[in-house]
Amino acid sequence: MVNLLDFDVDSLTAWFAQQGEKPFRARQLSRWMHRFGVDDFGQMTDVAKSLRAKLADLAEIRGPQPLRDNTAADGTRKWLLDMGNGNAVETVFIPETNRGTLCISSQVGCALECSFCSTGKQGFNRNLTTAEIIGQLWHANRMLGAVRQPGVDDSGERVVSNVVLMGMGEPLANFDNMTAALRLMLDDHAYGLSRRRVTVSTAGLVPAMDRLRDSVPVALAVSLHAATDALRDELVPINRKYPLRELMAACRRYLEKAPRDFITFEYVLLAGINDSDADAHAVLQLTRTIPCKFNLIPFNPFPGSGYRRPSPERVRRFQELLINADVVATVRKTRGDDIDAACGQLAGQVKDRTRRHAAQVGTARPLTRQSLPITLEVNA
């Protein structure tokens, strides 16, 4: 049976055409599914009864099933969502005074093996489907009481006003399913979010960054974490395929069509690894030709990581050096760490097809600066 959450409006229009139905039915169903959060065709009161009966035989609206629902002391809420066959992903809602941000996962696990990320330690199983990606937003709206009501003015501020694809997985490695979900987030018949309020985070898959720019250019965040190829090769292994010079060039290209006039660089601060004054100066040199802001993230510890969180003084000093160079630099406030919902802590449940987790047990060792060359490569 077809899950209609798997279709963006264009593909849903094509599906209805195959059923001999008119194009407006896709817009109609999208509003009921996404704007109103309805999963029962019988409740779709402006849809002909004959079509409702037909849909009940042909299709379903099936969102993810929650295995756990935890709320932190600061109001952060995390759902563990069942993806079948012993797999589950985590989705996090972060409420703030002037916005509500939903952090969405794109894969079961992650294949990129970033050394400081809990998800990366779990190995990789598979890509999420479009229904499983958009289903996280669909589920969150229902659980937060944020679905719109038919016939009621819905022009007010949304409970989920921002979406970031920064959960489990590398979004650009699941490009087609991820971009179909993005189109639903942006579509006025579905969630109607602004391109400026939807952010895709990537570790640096350069060809896919160019594809995103040309297809669904939303806000972009790049996981940087180092200013030299030597260090970034260790922290973010995809750098060995797409080194910093190529990554910086892709960032400049992306800005040609981006909804924001800057790239956000995410930078996890690891004590004694990438948090020195010299590291800050190298970062400034690397990014000097790219309009950008920095989101500094003090490392959130997890068992077996081998890394330490820098002192507050060191974090402030790193931030100060960037700000003194007229670069916007914010320190991400740790939210939900009492329920392991903070940045880098999402692990979920992964039946690891790569067998990486088993290979890593008992072998983790901390990276030390002494093991790396100290020469700096800068962006020309």
Catalytic residue (one of 110, 114, 251, 343): 343
Residue 283 domain-assigned (yes or no): yes
Half-sphere exposure of 52 (CA within 13 A, CB side): 13
Is residue 377, in this structure, part of any structural domain at all? no
Neighbours of 156 (CB within 10 A): 8
Residue 87 forms part of a structural domain: yes
Q: Which of 60, 75, 102 is the last residue of a domain?
A: 60
Q: What is the H or E stretch that residue 179 is in? A: helix 175-186
Residues 201 and 179 reside in one and the same domain: yes
Whether residue 376 is contained in a domain is answered as no
How many other CB atoms sit within 10 Å of the CB of residue 294?
A: 24
Give residue 154's pLDDT. Answer: 59
Look at residue 204 and give its three-state secondary structure.
Answer: coil
Residues spanned by the domain of 228: 65-371
Residues 19 and 117 grouped into a single domain: no
Of 21, 90, 170, 266, the catalytic one is 90
User: Which whole-number Å values give the CA distances from 27 to 18, 40, 138, 188, 190, in the listed order?
Assistant: 16, 16, 16, 9, 8
CATH number at residue 25: 1.10.150.530
**Is 127 in a helix, a strand, or coil?**
strand
pTM of the model: 0.87
Count CA atoms closer than 13 A to 326's CA, side-chain side.
3
- Tokens representing residue 377 in the block: 């490569």
Residues 30 and 144 in one domain: no
What phi and psi, each to the nearest 5 degrees, are found at residue 29?
Answer: -65, -35
**Same structural domain for residues 14 and 75?**
no
Question: What is the pLDDT at residue 363?
Answer: 42
Low-confidence spans in the chain with pLDDT less than 70: 148-149, 151-157, 334-380
pLDDT at 112: 92
Q: 173 φ, ψ to 5°? A: -85, -5
Separation of CA 362 from chain center: 30
Shared domain check, 323 and 299: yes
Q: Is 343 assigned a catalytic role?
A: yes
What is the C-alpha to C-alpha distance for residues 307 and 13, in angstroms, rounded to an integer? 50
User: Do 70 and 34 have their domain in common?
Assistant: no
Q: What's the pLDDT score for residue 303? A: 80
Judge whether 377 counts as a catalytic residue.
no
**Nearest-CA neighbor of 191 among 60, 78, 102?**
102
On whether both 101 and 51 belong to a single domain, the answer is no
Q: Give the model confidence (pLDDT) of 241-283 as tens digits.
A: 999 999 999 999 999 999 999 999 999 999 999 999 999 999 9
Of 43, 60, 77, which residue sits at a domain end? 60
- 56: tokens are 């009940």
> Based on the domain organization, do 100 and 55 belong to the same domain?
no
DSSP symbols for 132-170: HHHHHHHHHHHHTT----TTS---S--SS-EEEE-SSS-
CATH code where residue 236 lies: 3.20.20.70
Q: Give the number of domains in the chain.
A: 2
User: Are the CB atoms for 255 and 349 separated by under 8 Å?
Assistant: no
Write out pLDDT tens, residues 6-55: 999 999 999 999 999 999 999 999 999 999 999 999 999 999 999 999 99
Task: For residues 206 and 353, state if they share a domain.
Answer: yes
